[in-house]
Chains A and B, each alone.
Chain A
Amino acid sequence: MALLDIKDLHATVDDGDAGPKPILKGISLTINPGEVHAVMGPNGAGKSTLSNVISGRPGYTVTGGSVTYDGVDLLEMEADARARAGLFLAFQYPVEIPGVATGTFLKTAINARRKANGEPEIEALDFLKLMKANAKKLGVADDMLKRPVNVGFSGGEKKRAEVLQMAMLEPRLCLLDETDSGLDIDALKVVADGVNALRAPDRGMLVITHYQRLLDYIVPDVVHVLADGRIVKSGDKSLALELESKGYAEFTGAAA
């Protein structure tokens, strides 16, 4: 069974007084377990809308099509239920939450998922071990874990913290929204290593990016080009390189 099956997805963003604005105009995409797909596209193509709609962010309305995750209708579920079912969104702009310690937050998230699965809460010691082991791999300093969620983190630290959360929550489907934005090359490598370590036969990934650079490190099985709310071309990893040399002009022109 496909892990994620998107069929002819149409969605609008609620644009205040201007009313709903169509962003996704018929997207179809299938990710099987073990596959890594990349979605590339110019600014305004609908890349972030796609990840927001899949993860259940308020402010968007699905006007047509379907999103099926592991055989269930994802669009019927609230954002928190999707996450507990195994979906993980690595945010383009991780949110700062003053007053909530990173450790407390992670433990609450893990236990929410365990509770939903009828499992007991994680033992405090097991949690600490798990967190420290993952933090070490990603070069996340101990004092960062004591600080409030994302507060005072640099851009690179925020992205590493996102991958740390991803590793600890063990999702089945990872959505990475512009995870490369704001990263220098060293930080990019650390983050990519963290992501690659999570590649597994039963796990799928959707990597959303504007630039090909990230895909040198997280090598995708399939690359899709998104332009004006539609997937205009799909291919293997060589498509990313082609885009890097030619740019998006061809597709934006075609879509217009």
Chain B
Amino acid sequence: MTDPVETIPLVPETLAAGANDEPAWLSDLRRAGLSIYTERGLPTVKVEAWKYTSLAGLKKIPYVLDDGGVPAPADADIAGDVLPLPPEDTYRVTLVNGRPTDLPTDLPAGVRMARLADLLEAEPALVKPYLGRIADLSDAPMGALNGALMRDGVVILVDAGIVLDKPIHLVSIAQAPNGQARHGHPRHLIVLGDGAAATIVESRVTGPESAETLCNAVTEIAVGADAHLRHLRLVNRAETAVDLDLTETTLADRATYDAFTLTLGGRLVRNEGRVRLRGANAWAGLRGAYGARDAQHFDTTLLVDHVVPDARSDQVFKGVVDAGGKAVFQGKVIVRKDAQRTDGNQLHKALLLSRDADAYTKPELEIYADDVKCSHGATVGELDENQLFYLMARGIPEADARALLVEAFLDDVVEAIPEGPLRDAFLASVRAWQTRRHASTWEIGA
């Protein structure tokens, strides 16, 4: 029997009833989200999708719901963690706890960027066709909670045929000042019209002297026919951060979604990526790298859903786990009955640098069509002793040799990003992580 007076974790009592003067469809969305979350609660290891990542511990942290009003820290305070991209080469947006604090004013015609809060108030019809309709959150309690509590986020709408000349850089800062832990539920929406093309880059970091933060974000993405979205993300939060991200993308005919996620910082990070290939000859690439250590727990959970025939998908993740770190990779591919001639590939490689490092891999293939090409591979290994000796036999000290091999292992997948300033920025982030790792006290190797 459940305790009747137990409060719902993370849900303020005043909010449970649903709010005020919103459009009915929005109130419905919130109610639906709240009911899913209330029924399921914070996911624990008893739930298959959360088998290796429990959130039960979050109950103990006295988070309060972010109400806005937290000022953005100075750029200098976060510069070391953000992707090193010159501001003038991007359309840069700063978000604090998921709320945009500034928006670019020089966007080309046909591109609109707005605060979700503003649109919900002034032009709800603009987001209604997408919000809560791209992502299926019925099996995602945290995503559903986001639906119940969302207030703000960034909305990016690119009209048909528009090709964005510069990447959009979302600098997403988690910040809980005055020692008060905060949770926030940013909701983002990205819509590319037919034939449009854009690159969206995100740096997820933590502000200076922040207390505990829980960021529970949902991003919904629709890529129109013949449109191309490149979506590159760096998760580089502090040890005070719990970062949950669910991104669901739907692709039309010949659309492509090229995603890369590099996770290097945060105490508990879950990047959940879902792609629905609803258009023939569409392609989705979900790739990334991570480096976990010292009680860091990084979870990558992917779902690629081949709904129609003749689409392709590639999942490639590589990660390094050092002493105390834990990595989880769950990759699922669904090929529906009609999705003939699907080409789906999945690869996960983890490198363990210590006996006190864990990696869990769970590949799943659900194939209902008969004419498909699907592959999956997973390896968990240690540094190659022959390679290490070869480097040392050339005079390279052991610690440097190990560092070189670790960096090479990660760079190999970072090079999925085409040559240029963006790839360089990600390589530089790997290098900075490596330097910190090298300088820190934790053991290199077993």
A residues whose Cβ falls under 8 Å from a Cβ of B: 55-58, 78-80, 83-84, 89, 91, 94-100, 105, 108-109, 112-113, 116, 148-149, 165, 169
Contacts and interface: CB of A to CB of B under 8 A. Distances in A.
Interface residues of B, number: 23
A113 B387 contact: no
Nearest to B404: A100
B134 interface: no
A59 to B, nearest CB: 8
Contacts of A109: 391, 394-396
Contact of A78 (B398, B409, B411): B398
Contact of B405 (A80, A84, A97): A97
B394 A97 contact: no
Which among B394, B405, B407 has the highest number of chain A CB atoms within 10 Å?
A: B394
A173 B396 CA distance: 17
A196 B408 CA distance: 34
B412 interface: yes
Contacts of B411: 99
A84 B395 contact: yes
A58 B393 CA distance: 11
A55 B408 contact: no
B397 A80 contact: yes
A33 B277 CA distance: 69
Contact of B392 (A83, A98, A99, A148): A83
B397 A98 contact: no
A89 B393 contact: yes
Contact of B408 (A84, A98, A112): A98
B207 to A, nearest CB: 34
B390 A112 contact: no
Contact of A80 (B384, B395, B404): B395
B444 interface: no
B39 interface: no
Nearest to B414: A99
A80 B398 contact: yes
B386 interface: yes
Nearest to B411: A99
Given A99-B408, A99-B412, A108-B404, A169 B394 contact: yes
B366 interface: no
A108 B408 contact: no
Given A97-B387, A108-B404, A83 B395 contact: yes
Nearest to A91: B390
A113 B397 CA distance: 10
B25 interface: no
B392 to A, nearest CB: 4
